[in-house]
Structure 1
Amino acid sequence: MNDRADGGELEFRVAEELRFLLASRFRGRGRPRVPYDPTSTLGHVVQSLGVPLTEVGGLALDGEPVPPAHRPAGGGLVDVTALPRPQALPTGPPRFLLDVHLGALARRLRLVGLDSAYSNDADDPALVARSGAERRVLLTRDRGLLRRRALWRGAFVRGTRPDGQLIDVLTRFDPPLAPWTRCPACNGRLAPVAKAEVAHRLRPGTLRTYDTFTRCRSCARVYWRGAHGGRLEATVAAAERALRHAD
């Protein structure tokens, strides 16, 4: 940005829960200050600090609420507040789209019954286009992707471990859960299936030990509560607990 001849500056008071998103050069210096540029919107300046607008609840200039498109007449103090949780969407319960780095999170979201699209080779333009076409919230840790103007809805996923990321998404959107109803592999719907119908696809040990099965209506994968069931049940229980505590 170019400084104005009068040396005007914008000072930013960023909500504590958003400070981790600030670019490293601003993170440890109290209130960030930047030269005022009359050609930039306030939203553009906030994003240049490192905070995507998808994470911002509101902006105020010298105490007066203003939209992200506002162009200040001069310098001033800008308050940047965090988006309140849970976040309501105009389309009702959220449908998700995850970027290529969040495959493990996609499987966990599907485990608790949430419509979560994922492809491990989708590029950024394709993700943005699909988000808009299918009205899906794009989940990502890529702040640059969240700054794309064409993006319908997006959310920065907090945390680096999939279990923590799952709790972050659930407490942000408070979606209704339906565990064990979606295919973790493809996101299709699961339906009960008679053991006799899938017996030819099962190993002898599985045939002897288990009697209850489901099958994906899209990819035909067969599921049962196997040796890994305890770990999956713990994930579901943690998800349900997180939403109860968020109420």
Structure 2
Amino acid sequence: MAKLAYFRFYGNLNDFLPSLQKEKEVKYSFTGTPAVKDAIEALGIPHPEVDIVLINGQPTQFTNLLQANDSVAVYPTGTNHVNLAAYSRQATLPVWHKFILDVHLGKLAKNLRLLGFDTLYRTDYDNKTIVQLAGAEERIILTRDVGLLKHKTVLWGYWLRSQHPEKQLTEVLAYFKFLPPFQPFTRCLVCNGILAWVPKETVLEQLPPKTKLYFQEFYQCQNCLRVLWKGSHYDRMQVFVQQLRQVD
């Protein structure tokens, strides 16, 4: 016989719900005793975006079993529950904030690398590879695919609401509470490698003729060995970074 439980989702968790269910009590019909995590995801909410869960007013773990007539409150990251800090799932986020992005987020990957964030991205990464790398290297998954975040082994992740790269960057910075100063121009935008200063004479053969003549300061990716210098592209990136630093 089917049983009912009653869910209420708070904050930006409502982004995942149909319009008629947003900011309202949601009835969930079930049989047996499913884990509360399974019920939350069946209602459309990926577990990495959940911070605190209360069942009948009491803090609970994802593995707790759902019972008939349970009242479940589900809170997103950023919830100010001081007395429930010990139950916060977001408190387990790695402090070093390494990312891995899905195939749709190439521009965001470059923007994060521009600011100095360790960001894995390749067009040949499938979902299985992303999940495996995220677990092995303790990386946060950024994606436009809600289903990717529902893989049971995923610990940390975020679903980008915007489809525009610049808005996606500010969205990530706000969600993870990143504040300036960043560490811009320390990573290769192409491969994520670390950039290091190199003497001009060591990279002369890789430089275009006019670059040899007009530029004296050079950096090289320690991974892919690309050589970079502060040309007009650098000035544009400086403006971009400065604009981000001015955002409250």
Moved more, 231-240 or 144-153: 231-240
Moved more, 214-223 or 29-38: 29-38
Select 2:191's aligned residue among 186, 197, 201. 186
Q: Which amino acid aligns with 1:115?
A: D
SS of aligned partner of 1:13: strand
Counterparts of 1:1-247 in structure 2 under 5 Å? 4=2, 8-22=3-17, 24=18, 27=21, 30-84=24-78, 88-89=91-92, 91-174=94-177, 177-242=182-247, 245=248
Runs of 4+ in 1 over 6 A off after TM superposition: none
Instruction: Give a deviation string over 1:107-144, Cα, whole Å, max 9, x none.
Output: 11111111111111111111111111111112112111
**Structure 2: which 5+ residue stretches go unaligned?**
80-89
**Structure 1: which 5+ residue stretches go unaligned?**
none
Give, in whole Å, the separation in 2 of the partners of 1:151 and 1:14: 21
Q: 1:158 to 1:61 in 2, by over 3 A?
A: same
Query: 2:93, 2:156 within 8 Å by CA — same for their partners in 1?
Result: no
TM-score (norm 2): 0.85
- Count of aligned positions: 237
1:236 Cα offset (Å): 1.9
Query: 2:102, 2:121 within 8 Å by CA — same for their partners in 1?
Result: yes
Q: 1:11 to 1:136 in 2, by over 3 A?
A: same
Cα-Cα RMSD: 2.4
Q: How many percent identity over aligned positions?
A: 33
Q: Which amino acid aligns with 2:191?
A: C
Query: 1:112, 1:177 within 8 Å by CA — same for their partners in 2?
Result: yes
Q: Which amino acid aligns with 1:213?
A: F
SS of aligned partner of 2:173: helix
TM-score (norm 1): 0.85
Q: Which amino acid aligns with 1:16?
A: G
